[in-house]
Structure 1
Amino acid sequence: MGAREAFERCFRELVMEKPYQKITVTEICRKAHLSRKTFYDNFQDKEEILQAIFEDDVVKPVRTMNTLLSVRQSRDLQGIYMQNVYVPIYEDKEFYQKLIRPMKGVDDTFVRVVTHSLEQLNLEIMGDSEISSGLEREYVAYYFASSQAMFMQKWIFDGMLFTPQELGTLYEKMTGFYWLDNSKDI
């Protein structure tokens, strides 16, 4: 196991023990038996560890799915596509609930991390399609990323009362209008 993986594993363990806000880089290093220098060679701060975990859990599998589908196919399969965003979080329910519950209303780290990751992913998915162009594309990508981040946060905070399938269907109902109105451009 490399240093990055050790830091991520130890961060996950610490989240299970205490609120995110109370976890320090020193504790992460101590638990990983690695130096602060090694930490800073791999991450800027603990938020970047959370970013890496979210990327591994959610973004990488979706990115892999994107390599197999066109933008139109992604749109046609949006419900299934959205489920794939929620499944890894649902499968690691305890970690995400321990992370989110103390944050909600106090710390926007999770929303910031998820918004950033999903905005980049959305820009990749939209690519050079004519959904929108230039600055408008950036705003569309941000809109869907930030709404998704808030939606995810509420779902996790509330105890994941919907299955990933139900949540994917609900999100599609709420946002499908945009893609339907713009599907001619895809």
Structure 2
Amino acid sequence: MTRRTRTALGTTALCGALLLATAACGSSSASGPTAAQAGTDLQTDFTSALKAYSVTGPIAHKPPYTTISDASKDVPCGSGKATRVYTAEQRVPWTGLPDPASMHTEVQTAAAWFRQYQDDLKAKNEDGPDKVSFGLISDKRHAHVVIVATRAPNLMTLTFNGTSDCLRTS
């Protein structure tokens, strides 16, 4: 191979690599889900998990949960991106003060129904006596879920909070 051929091949290879890099960089800004898509996933996941949770676990007759935020609105998080938030709450009447073991069981039972999620090893979980929390994460869903149980006399409150990653809006 002559020096001229090697130079031409090297230039062609370099141009090809630059073209691929440019295409990859151009497509990465538009890849992945939008905040709206992640919000729809949160709605689907929460509806399914809370419906299943409400009829299972140690507390047989759970009151309905209240949706506080349904992940339908963009919440700006910088650089023209947004996140979506789903929050629901369930207030469970209790005789006396709920014990941490019961709170932990309810949180774990609820967490089991978020099947698209895994334990969030970076979450700062709490384990009583007045608050029990457990974090979940889904790379596929681009979201985090935290389930919290708090106690008061004659009441256990379960709060379910899901937040998408900071994602593009279109």
**TM-score, length of structure 1 as denominator length:** 0.28
**TM-score, length of structure 2 as denominator length:** 0.30
Structure 1 or 2: more strand by fraction: 2
